[in-house]
Amino acid sequence: MEYEHAQLLADAGSRRRRVLDVATTVEWTAVALLAGVAAVGDIRTGRVPNALTFGAAAAGLVFSTVHGGGSGGLASVTGFVVGIALFLPLFAVGGMGGGDVKLLAAFGAWLGPVGALWTALGASLVGGVLAMAVAASRGYLLEAIRNVGALTAVWQTVGLAPIPGWTLNDANRPRLAYAVPIGIGAILALWFAPR
């Protein structure tokens, strides 16, 4: 009798591990696909389409709710909101496109609020390195560094606001397809963020 009970517990544990393994595979696959499709699209067109970001966010909400119940759904919605909140200030001052903000939110729907935060941190670090590489490859690095100092000085004086001639819409400077560092940040968040 004792052996049968132990065997039942072992079988239940084995089934739970298989379910978790499948869920982890689905999550990794979805995040990697979203990262890849968004990066390729942003590099080719300079845009991250709404259908991709909102579709991925909806899929993340469904997955999280099915896998984690009400608490999973709540974590997904909270991750989406945190993703919007983290990059919205950069969009407001004209330093980032709306598709990039929605992309972080879509990753937040898959990874939850902590994952959205880790994705934003990873994207910021990777984006900084890539931005310097792009600027250096175009002979623009010293001017870019001076511009960061000038932006900081202006924002300290007048507050955060778009500066004409320096926003994505009217700047005549090299651009970085920011879906690339956001996608890398999401993969780093999956790998390193506490779960």
User: 20-77 pLDDT, tens per residue?
Assistant: 688 889 999 999 999 999 999 999 999 999 999 999 999 999 999 999 999 999 999 9
Q: Which residue has the tokens 């696959």?
A: 29
User: 47-62 pLDDT, tens per residue?
Assistant: 999 999 999 999 999 9
User: 138-153 pLDDT, tens per residue?
Assistant: 888 888 888 788 878 8
**Range in 58-62, 116-120, 131-135, 177-181 the model is least confident about:** 131-135
The dihedral over CA atoms of 184, 50, 114, 12, expressed in degrees to the nearest 10, equals -90
Q: Which residues contact 21 (CB under 8 A, 6 or more apart)?
A: none
**Total count of domains within the chain:** 1
For the chain, give the secondary structure using H, E and C.
CHHHHHHHHHHHHHHHHHHHHHHHHHHHHHHHHHHHHHHHHHHHHCCCCHHHHHHHHHHHHHHHHHHHHHHHHHHHHHHHHHHHHHHHHHHHCCCCCHHHHHHHHHHHHHHHHHHHHHHHHHHHHHHHHHHHHHHHHCCCHHHHHHHHHHHHHHHHHHCCCCCCCCCCCCCCCCCCCCHHHHHHHHHHHHHHCCC
Predicted pLDDT of residue 162: 76
The percentage of the chain sitting over the pLDDT mark of 90, rounded to a whole number, equals 60
User: 78-106 pLDDT, tens per residue?
Assistant: 999 999 999 999 999 888 999 999 999 99
Chain-centroid distance of CA 163 in Å reads 26
Predicted pLDDT of residue 8: 46
Residue 10: pLDDT over 60 = no
Residue 181: pLDDT over 80 = yes
Rg over CA atoms, the chain: 20
Domain residues for the domain of 176 are 2-192
Two tokens, residue 41: 């699209």
Predicted pLDDT of residue 166: 67
Two tokens, residue 70: 């009400």
